[in-house]
Structure 1
Amino acid sequence: MSHKRKRGRIIQLSSRQLELIELVKKHSPVTGEQLAEYLGVSRPTLRSDLSLLVMLGMLDAKPKVGYFLGNTFRASNEPLQRFHNMKVREVQGVPVNIPDTLSVHDAVITLFMENADTLLVVNEEKRFAGIVTPKDLLKITLGNAGAATIPVSMVMTRYPNIVTLVPDDTVMDAIRKMSQHQVDCLPVIHPPDETGQNPLVAGWVSKSNIIALLADIASASELGDQ
């Protein structure tokens, strides 16, 4: 792994920052006020995000003109264009699945063993049933001595009350949903079939997946500028 690749891997961008980059690509030059309007937030809310992106060289700005893509991306538009067209199926990872009969105690162990932030719950037909987060598990266990034996089906957030993706969604669809719903990861499901059963799990997209992808694009653009 090259030094530039390592440097790219440590970039910690939020979903909103990723969306800002895409908005600037589409509308540059664009003012901070316009970006705030696109995202439905106040201008001061974006100040720290825009400052970070400028510092990283991902965006540049000119007084009375606005923001445009920085040196990191201007060198080669091809990697960025590929990012714009990329599908969820190209970046999705393998989620940590647990059965809905698993106890809360075992779910906690699984979280630690797998170093996972969220667990996907499947029913006996291996179809998507819901998700369980550390917060869900903490709520049920605090002050409840018998909580450890409760099945996760009693504490999970159930499908379809969950924001999801399908493999043919774009990566930008994923970024927009993460930003809109303030989540760092989304389940990827196969479109529901005609049986009316819950869908099958296809994968998982997290903010770290997208950051890694963006780091690769930044590295490719920097190399193209040499």
Structure 2
Amino acid sequence: MELIELVKQHAPVTGEQLAEYLGVSRPTLRSDLSLLVMLGMLDAKPKVGYFLGTQYRAGNAPLQRFHNLKVREVQGVPVNIPETLSVHDAVITLFMENADTLLVVTESNRFAGIITPKDLLKITLGNASAASIPVSMVMTRYPNIVTLSPENSVMDAIVKMSQHQLDCLPVLMPEEEPGANPVLAGWVSKSSIIAIMADMASDGETGEGGR
């Protein structure tokens, strides 16, 4: 990964310096840096910067394992709602499921779109009749959505989340017929990826201590 190579060359190096080297903004790198620190590939010291972590110095096995992970191995079950559901019921679903995003599907479980708390807030403010409007009227429609396939790598998911500043991505099966909405297979969230990386880092530390 380019970030690791830059840290290897310039350590200790700040996030601002890394962003400058890559020609991107600091917030764009924040997720990538956090994930690498979680995996133990990088370490960070306040007011000093980033340098190579214990897992990198011990060997890159955890990173290699992570690079080999496919989305299908880590995807979860999304919170689905039918496109006919009312905005009122969508709000209730958000709170009941403690979800940040709802995935909207057709009757045949075809992916139709996504809806977020911001979408619901925009339609309900100052609109007394908004509660009865179907979510299909306010959702972001497919294909105007960033998505993954089950065969994408988890690194692909991280890059897409970072580039588009998203917390989760729907996972769609390959299109069976041109023009038809694909079947929803699952979703991948930033929190689930961080949990996986934490487990890998923990396993690596355990293995290293056992040698």
- Identify the TM-score tier after normalising by the shorter chain: 0.7 to 0.9
| Partner SS, residue 225 of structure 1 | helix
CA separation in 1, counterparts of 2:169 and 2:208? 34
1:56 Cα offset (Å): 9.3
Please point out which of 186, 192, 206 is paired with 1:223: 206
1:195 Cα offset (Å): 4.7
Q: Which contiguous aligned blocks of 4+ residues in structure 1 show a shift greater than 6 angstroms?
A: 43-47, 49-56
With normalisation by structure 1, the TM-score equals: 0.77
Aligned residues: 200
1:196 Cα offset (Å): 2.4
CA separation in 1, counterparts of 2:186 and 2:108? 17
CA separation in 1, counterparts of 2:108 and 2:27? 49
1:188-199 pair list within 5 angstroms? 188-199=171-182
Larger relative contact order (CA 8 Å, sep ≥ 6): 1
Unpaired segments ≥5 residues, structure 1: 1-21
CA separation in 2, counterparts of 1:45 and 1:203? 25
Corresponding residue for residue 154 of structure 2: 171
CA separation in 2, counterparts of 1:144 and 1:43? 38
CA separation in 2, counterparts of 1:113 and 1:51? 29
Unpaired segments ≥5 residues, structure 2: none
1:6-155 pair list within 5 angstroms? 22-25=1-4, 29-31=8-10, 32=13, 35-36=18-19, 39-41=22-24, 58-60=41-43, 69-155=52-138
* Structure 1 residues 108 and 78, CA gap change in structure 2 (3 angstroms): same
1:35 Cα offset (Å): 3.7
Corresponding residue for residue 164 of structure 2: 181
| Partner SS, residue 143 of structure 1 | coil
Corresponding residue for residue 14 of structure 1: none
For the aligned residue pairs, the C-alpha RMSD in angstroms reads 3.0
| Partner SS, residue 9 of structure 2 | coil
Give 2:134's aligned amino acid. Answer: P
Tell which deviates more after alignment, 96-105 or 52-61: 52-61
* Structure 1 residues 205 and 174, CA gap change in structure 2 (3 angstroms): same
1:177 Cα offset (Å): 0.3
Q: Do 1:76 and 1:225's aligned partners in 2 also have CA atoms closer than 8 Å?
A: no
1:192 Cα offset (Å): 1.2
1:123 Cα offset (Å): 1.4
1:82 Cα offset (Å): 0.8
Tell which deviates more after alignment, 102-111 or 30-39: 30-39
| Partner SS, residue 129 of structure 1 | strand
* Structure 1 residues 159 and 73, CA gap change in structure 2 (3 angstroms): same
1:221 Cα offset (Å): 1.5
Q: Do 1:102 and 1:152's aligned partners in 2 also have CA atoms closer than 8 Å?
A: yes
CA separation in 2, counterparts of 1:44 and 1:135? 21
